[in-house]
Structure 1
Amino acid sequence: MRVIAWLVEGTWPACVDAVRRHAPESATVVLLHVSSPDVPGVAHGAFAGLLGRGHPERDPGDRLEALGGSSAAELLDAAVRRLGRPCAREERSGRVEREVVAAAEGADLLVLARDGDRSRLGPHSLGPAVRFAVDHAPCPVLLVWPEPAPGLGTIPPAPLHPR
């Protein structure tokens, strides 16, 4: 069994805990982190457009790229410690939702956490990237709450008109 756990800042502990609870010890576990090139790209563009190209050593995009890489490494290090068993680490860069789906190819389970409105039950508890991954994953998906799920009273009311 091959299990992919998509780790995102803020929700990764819930994914690691779900792997510990639900994946057999014999499973091959891959801890996945995906970085989007958008933020450094915007910083590069802003620097070039607003401040000119005379001092490339001051380009904030380079610093953001370095910080993103070290942040991902630190997150994966913490996740490995929390998991407490052998696993592989995978870092990808690109369109986050598409990289997650590509990483799940050939997997037996994809574990990910809700990233939207977590104050109530319903579809808004999924942000766009998680919704895409849930809808397009080529394997079963285990979707976890990063904290205890809200109560049933948070379900939106039924429509006034019957279907």
Structure 2
Amino acid sequence: MDVVVWVVEGTWRACVHAARNLTPPGSRVVLLHVTAPDVPGAAHGAFAGLLGRGHPERDPGLQVEEFAEVAARHLLDVAAAELELPATAVNRHGRPEEEVVAAAEGAGLLIVARDGDRDRLGPRSLGHATRFVVDHAPCPVLLVWPEQAPGIESIPPPPR
């Protein structure tokens, strides 16, 4: 079985621990990070629009892309070391929710972490991208809390 583990800054450790503890023997593990185009795109746009027409060699977006790549590789390396299982590290580029769903095609399990409001149980504990992934994943999804889950007393009262 292929197990895809979505590695995201801030919540990756819970996903890696779940994979280490729950992955069946003989499974292939893929540590997946997605680099979104937002920040490099903003740097490219600001440079082109305001600062650097005619000087593409000074585009700060290129340096931002390079920094993002280095940060992603470092995060995947740290996650792989903590996983303590053989794994393939993959860094994709694009809209995270779309890239994660595409990477999960054919997988036996996708492990993701809650990334929204973590003070109470409920649907707001999922951010936009994670909600999309949970709703569209082409395989079973294991949804983990990045820290201790709140108690059931945190469930909001029913609407009137």
TM-score (ref. length: structure 2): 0.96
Deviations 1:70-110 (CA, angstroms, capped at 9, x unpaired): 00000000011001111111111011101100000000000
TM-score (ref. length: structure 1): 0.95
2:31 matched residue in structure 1: 31
Runs of 4+ in structure 1 deviating by more than 2 angstroms, as ranges, are 54-58
Give the number of equivalent residue pairs.
Answer: 160
2:139 matched residue in structure 1: 139
Query: Which ranges in structure 2 are unaligned for 5 or more consecutive residues?
Result: none
Deviations 1:125-154 (CA, angstroms, capped at 9, x unpaired): 100100000000000000000000111111
**How many angstroms does 1:119 deviate by?**
1.0
CA-based RMSD of the aligned residues comes to 1.0
- Of all paired residues, the percent bearing the same amino acid is 65
Alpha-carbon distance between aligned partners in 1 of 2:131 and 2:81, rounded to the nearest angstrom: 28
Q: Does 1:108 align with 2:115?
A: no
Deviations 1:19-68 (CA, angstroms, capped at 9, x unpaired): 01111121110100111112101110011111132433332211110010
Query: Which ranges in structure 1 are unaligned for 5 or more consecutive residues?
Result: none
1:79 matched residue in structure 2: 79
Match of 2:14, SS?
Answer: helix
Residue type at the aligned position of 2:47: F
1:153 matched residue in structure 2: 153
1:46 matched residue in structure 2: 46
2:95 matched residue in structure 1: 95
Alpha-carbon distance between aligned partners in 2 of 1:17 and 1:65, rounded to the nearest angstrom: 29
1:126 matched residue in structure 2: 126
Counterpart contact for 2:13–2:79, Cα < 8 Å? yes
Q: Does 1:11 align with 2:11?
A: yes
